[in-house]
Amino acid sequence: MYNYIKGRVEDISEGFVVLESSGIGYNINATFGTISRLSLGEEIKLHVKLIVREDEMSIYGFGTRDEKEMFELLIGVSSIGPRSAINILSFPESGSIAGYIMNADIRSLSKFPGVGKKTAERIVLELRDKLSKRGWTEQECALSEIPEHSELDEAVQALAALGYSESEARAAAAKAAETAQGTQELIKLSFKYLAR
């Protein structure tokens, strides 16, 4: 139904963004990588996918077409729903997922959140040919338009792993980034701000 939505970023939270377009505020679920590149008040375009269930309608948004395409492929795999697919694509190594699938790298795929050995095998079995038909190669990164995570993103993920919410971690990391040099120092300073 929707292909993309253009609008102004009105709110950024953990796991979603509110995008205002033509006077309507769309609550859009998004990956960590997409959210981390947004700023309040910014005019953006998100590629979106509407998911309709018996009890809800949800919109999922992506910074690139490749990320959206990988999401659509993942939710086509039995036992992977939209939330699981978003979690997988929010993982730091998500940019390499197409290569892992093409190379049948079960071990690397099993490291993604919610993906065990059986699910990893199913992903390879169901998606390898589809990726090949779309022209994605073993050396190619399907999500190549998505940049590497910055030091700030790494710090936020490290703090989130310690139990802090993404918004708390991002606020502390942004403050620490004013003086910190390097990822390790950024994480230490962020943790000090949060511990106060």
Q: What is the pLDDT of residues 112-138, one digit of tens each?
A: 888 989 999 999 999 988 888 877 654
Q: What gap in Å lies between CA 117 and CA 69, rounded to an integer? A: 23
Q: What gap in Å lies between CA 31 and CA 14, rounded to an integer? A: 10
Mean pLDDT of the chain: 83
Burial status of residue 169 (CB atoms within 10 A of its CB: 0-12, 13-18, 19 or more): buried
Q: Which uninterrupted H or E stretch holds 176?
A: helix 166-176
- For residue 98, CA distances in Å to 13, 35, 68, 92, 148 come to 28, 21, 13, 14, 16
Return the percentage of the chain with pLDDT > 70, whole number: 91
Per-residue pLDDT at 176 exceeds 60: yes
Per-residue pLDDT at 139 exceeds 60: no
Its CATH architecture, for the domain 66-133, is Orthogonal Bundle (1.10)
Domain 4-62, what fold?
A: OB fold (Dihydrolipoamide Acetyltransferase, E2P) (2.40.50)
Instruction: Write down the pTM of the prediction.
Output: 0.69
Q: Mean per-residue pLDDT for 78-85?
A: 91
Q: What is the pLDDT of residue 119?
A: 93
